[in-house]
């Protein structure tokens, strides 16, 4: 079976560092088999299903938490009532930082050399606390500060549940287009005011105002903003704004069930046909196809 590869830049805006989503899987058929260029953690909130992982079938039920390594190949099927999982995806840079600072000698968690990734069972009240904390993160800035705080919160709860959490081998419970990444600074990080503007440029009215709306958030002259964008990202302000609008649309398609027509309008497009045309040029698929795929590959 062909294995697809997905990239973190496929899910996040340029100034974001992680992707957090809740998805309910209804399919009783295998979803896309894939791996990533990022680390991934997911936990089961409700329902049951099967995790097809590195050639094995592992049963999933509420309370299961799994830590996926980038090269792990996986997909899912669900039971009749569906499978609801919450997913956190983040870069290898963060994973390396975690190991260097907290898990230098660890041979478990993300750093196990076993065929199957680390999987454990967490009491449902703790799963509820993890999900509640994750929902709070949704309302915060998508930065390393909040990512690190969430990851450490999860690890701490695991340690509190069972000191030195032992790895439960999933084998014991086995069931019988990538788009270019967002702009990366080429000459050091962008100034704080530019990074903050890129995080705040998420309102319908701002998208409708285009480059001038972005410059207004920066509270700077549009020519100055354009020069700084060119310096940091080697692209024009117009190109950056177009990319942010499409990233916004793609994220809404990934984590919500808002109708495509409304997402198109919220992203600043007055013509639905034009939105479809631009989206296909960027993501090489229709918005509906993108939504179906991204909500499968949690």
Give 105-128 pLDDT, tens digit per residue. Answer: 889 999 999 999 999 998 888 898
Say whether pLDDT at 249 is over 60: yes
Whole-number pLDDT of residue 18: 93
What average pLDDT does the structure give for the chain?
A: 82
Q: Confidence band (pLDDT; 50, 70, 90) for 24?
A: confident
Q: Confidence band (pLDDT; 50, 70, 90) for 30?
A: very low
Q: What angle do CA 209, 212, 216 make, to 5 degrees?
A: 105
Q: Confidence band (pLDDT; 50, 70, 90) for 202?
A: low
73-87, 128-142, 189-203, 241-255: which range is least confident on average? Answer: 189-203
Say whether pLDDT at 297 is over 50: no
Question: Over the stretch 149-159, which tens digit does the pLDDT of each residue have?
Answer: 999 999 988 88
Residue scoring higher pLDDT (175 or 59): 59
Residue scoring higher pLDDT (288 or 197): 288
Quote the radius of gyration of the chain (alpha carbons, Å): 20
Query: Checking DSSP bridges between strand 74-90 and strand 18-25, what pairing results, if any?
Result: antiparallel
Whole-number pLDDT of residue 287: 92
Domain 4-173 = CATH 3.30.365.10: no
Whole-number pLDDT of residue 203: 59
Whole-number pLDDT of residue 177: 38
pTM reported for the whole predicted model: 0.59
Alpha helices in the chain (DSSP H): 92-102, 124-138, 144-161, 192-200, 204-208, 210-218, 222-233, 237-255, 260-266, 272-283, 287-294
Q: Confidence band (pLDDT; 50, 70, 90) for 102?
A: very high
Question: Over the stretch 154-185, which tens digit does the pLDDT of each residue have?
Answer: 998 888 776 543 433 333 333 333 444 444 44
User: Which CATH architecture fits 192-294?
Assistant: Orthogonal Bundle (1.10)
Whole-number pLDDT of residue 180: 40
Give the CB-side neighbour count of residue 106, counting CA atoms within 13 A: 19
Residue scoring higher pLDDT (187 or 36): 36
What does the alpha-carbon distance between residue 131 and residue 154 come to, in Å, rounded to a whole number?
10
Q: What does the domain layout of the chain look like in residue ranges?
A: 4-173, 192-294
């Amino acid at each position: 079976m062909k294995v697809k590869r997905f990239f973190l830049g496929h899910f996040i805006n340029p100034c974001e560092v992680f992707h957090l989503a809740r998805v309910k899987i209804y399919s009783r058929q295998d979803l896309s088999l894939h791996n990533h260029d990022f680390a991934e953690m997911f936990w089961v909130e409700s329902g049951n299903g099967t995790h097809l992982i590195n050639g094995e079938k592992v049963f999933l039920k509420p309370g299961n938490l799994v830590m996926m390594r980038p090269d792990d190949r996986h997909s899912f099927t669900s039971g009749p009532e569906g499978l609801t999982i919450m997913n956190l995806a983040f870069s290898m840079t963060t994973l390396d930082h975690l190991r260097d600072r907290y898990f230098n000698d660890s041979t478990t968690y993300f750093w196990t050399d076993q065929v199957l990734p680390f999987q454990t069972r967490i009491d449902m009240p703790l799963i509820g606390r993890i999900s509640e904390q994750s929902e709070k993160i949704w309302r915060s800035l998508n930065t390393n500060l909040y990512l690190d705080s969430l990851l450490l919160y999860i690890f701490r709860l695991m340690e509190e549940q069972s000191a030195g959490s032992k790895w439960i081998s999933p084998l014991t419970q086995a069931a019988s287009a990538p788009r270019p990444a967002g702009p990366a600074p080429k000459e050091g990080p962008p100034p704080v005011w530019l990074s903050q503007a890129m995080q705040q440029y998420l309102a319908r009215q701002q998208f409708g105002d285009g480059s001038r709306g972005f410059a207004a958030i920066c509270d700077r002259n549009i020519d100055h903003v354009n020069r700084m964008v060119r310096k940091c990202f080697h692209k024009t302000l117009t190109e950056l704004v177009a990319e942010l609008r499409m990233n916004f649309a793609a994220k809404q398609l990934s984590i919500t069930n808002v109708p495509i027509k409304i997402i198109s309008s919220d992203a600043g497009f007055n013509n639905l046909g034009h939105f479809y045309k631009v989206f296909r040029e960027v993501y090489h698929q229709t918005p509906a196809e993108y939504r179906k795929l991204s909500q499968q590959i949690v």
